[in-house]
Amino acid sequence: MKINTFKDPIQVHRAVAKEIIEAIQQRPNLVLGLSTGSTPLGTYAELVKDHQENGTDYGQVITFNLDEYEGLDPNDPKSYRHFMNQHLFGHLNINQKNTHVPLGTGDIEKECRDYEDRIKSAEGIDIQLLGIGINGHIGFNEPGTSFDTYTHAAELSEDTILANSKFFESPNQVPTRAITMGIKSILQAKRIFLIALGLSKAQVIKGMVSGPVSESLPASVLQNHADVTLFLNEEAASLL
């Protein structure tokens, strides 16, 4: 695991954005795995700024988001599809048809199978961007999730519901289930960038980097991947 530590979040976001922009310049039809939550927002703002100022071309870029809440329509302002349109896709010259977010409504089992097929048809993910939950979840793969999982329906833990309630009016409005790419789907990405910011992530970052590889801390599985880069600010790296 390569660990890049920066003083401030803005430096973290600039470093991640720079890597993504360079990858698009080298491969205009890059397949990019994306994540939600508050952490990648600054990175998305940097990508938008770069697109506006330097015209980086997203015309052929393909994206796959990690997850979506079950039961939320794509037009629902709390859905991850809406989040991505609002913070990233709507500001780039990306073809909406090339942006994939699991559909949280309808036949969930079929959507899980189809999502994996779509990733396969795109010949896999080149760079997967990840955040991390304070309990070590990646995507919505909560502690205890088998390392053998592909895209599947998942039950959210109470910790996660509480943490994600910052995007809702109250915790009881947070959906309790989601569709998420599985651990195996994530590990198939050629490169993985994980961003973590703030003291609240310091403990889990320490466990992920130096603790045992265990399903009780899902992100620890990244120790088994050949090309993972962590982008941390000093607070998130403070226990390393």
Q: Is 235 in the site for ligand GLP (CB under 6 A)?
A: no
Q: Is 39 in the site for ligand GLP (CB under 6 A)?
A: yes
56/139 with CB nearer ligand GLP = 139
Q: Using CB under 6 A, which of 102, 139, 175, 207 touches ligand GLP? A: 139
Asked if 67 is an active-site residue, the reply is: yes
Closest CA to 185 of 68, 66, 100: 66
Active site residue 137: yes
DSSP labels, 120-136: HHTT--SEEEE---TTS
Q: Taking CB under 6 A as the rule, does residue 205 contact ligand GLP?
A: no
| Residues from 143 through 172 that contact ligand GLP (CB under 6 A) | 160, 164
For residue 154, the SS3 value is strand
Distances (CA, A) of 16 to 20, 22, 39, 47, 48: 6, 10, 12, 9, 13
Q: Strand, helix or coil at 40? A: coil
Nearest approach in angstroms of CB 7 to ligand GLP is: 19
Exposure pattern of 100-112 as b/e (b: 16+ CB <10 Å)? bbbbbeeebeebb
What is the per-residue binding string for ligand GLP in 99-138, x denoting contact by CB under 6 A? --------------------------------xxx-----
Q: What's the gap between Cα 179 and its chain centre?
A: 13
Which residues of the shown chain bind ligand GLP in the complex (CB under 6 A)?
35-39, 66-67, 131-133, 139-140, 160, 164
- Give the residue numbers annotated as catalytic, written as ranges: 67, 135, 137, 142
